[in-house]
Amino acid sequence: MKSPVTVAVTGGAGQVAYSLLFQVANGSVFGNDQPVNLIIKEVPQFVGTLEGVRMELEDCAFPLLNKITLTDSDTEAFDGANWALLVGATPRGPGMERKDLLLMNAASFRDQGTAIDKTAASDIRVVVVGNPCNTNCLIAMHHAPDVPRTRFTALTRLDQNRSRAALAIKAGRPVSAVERMTIWGNHSSTQFPDFEHAVIDGKPVPEVISDRNWLENTFVEAVQKRGAAIIAARGKSSAASAANAVLDHVRSMLEQTDGDNWYSMGVVSDGNNYGIADGLIFSFPCRTDGKGEWSIVEGLSLSDYAKKKLETTQFELIGEREDVKELL
């Protein structure tokens, strides 16, 4: 039997973590022959709730679940971790500005980055889910200087999944027919869901869906505001679909990308890709080698329309970086 992979999950008492922990434990993410150690972290006032999560995990009798550790300590949370899924973050409240949310969560991600740097396994890979995830990822990465910058990624797979579903519904085709869907930039209302490079049944989306007004306005705005629409309809945030996207993200990093397809995730820019400033965590089209290493898809031709969209979302990310500059 293989040695266990250790997976740290923060925000363990929340709905997103609750929706993903059982799939991590049952083998559907890391493989049906890969034992898993789970380290589940929560802030002190909620750590007691984790006992119920532990009991449920135990009651599932997952053959691959080797060990469960519950903690409210960053140092213990990432001790020997091969994967860190940073789900926990303070949610945005009524009337709260995005800058307020950034500053509220910044210290937490600073501390988590520091702990990862000191205690995680040498092959650690970090997925930041808690919002604003791009800049939270930037903060954590900055405070883990001994971990390669490429090991830190931010979740934009939920936006990609939403985009694929919307295009499939409009075209009357299954989601599997929609490929090469890119989310550029920030996980926010400035993101650009790039329909120009996506394909449906191998054909460019604008050839299949000829209504350019629908693509540029209805589609783009619906994807950008989907999270708010779900909160308005359900009264709660999109926990299950977010958890599903985290699992998709990890699986994609563990599987070699097929052919000329790609997927979206927030990764650090080195200043040489599509005019994006060095050091920003920016969502790009990416491919992976099946061993956790990724590369940005190069050479895509961007229309003037797309370039303006990238400028807008980059401007927002630069502003967010400025807002937390005291932590960088």
Told to judge if 142 belongs to the known catalytic residues of this protein, a careful annotator would answer no
DSSP assignment of 115-147 equals HHHHHS-TT-EEEE-SSSHHHHHHHHHHT-TTS
User: Residue 326: is it exposed, middle or buried by C-beta count within 10 angstroms (0-12/13-18/19+)?
Assistant: exposed
Mention every residue, 6+ apart, whose C-beta is less than 8 A from residue 117.
Answer: 143, 144, 145, 146, 147
Query: Six-digit token pair at 263?
Result: 């997927």
Ranges of H-type helices in 26-147: 50-59, 74-77, 98-119, 133-142
Rg, the chain, Cα only: 19
Q: Which of 142, 143, 187, 197 is the catalytic position? A: 187
CA dist., res. 178 & res. 73, Å (int): 42
Interatomic CA distance for residues 10 and 133, integer angstroms? 14
Known catalytic residues?
187
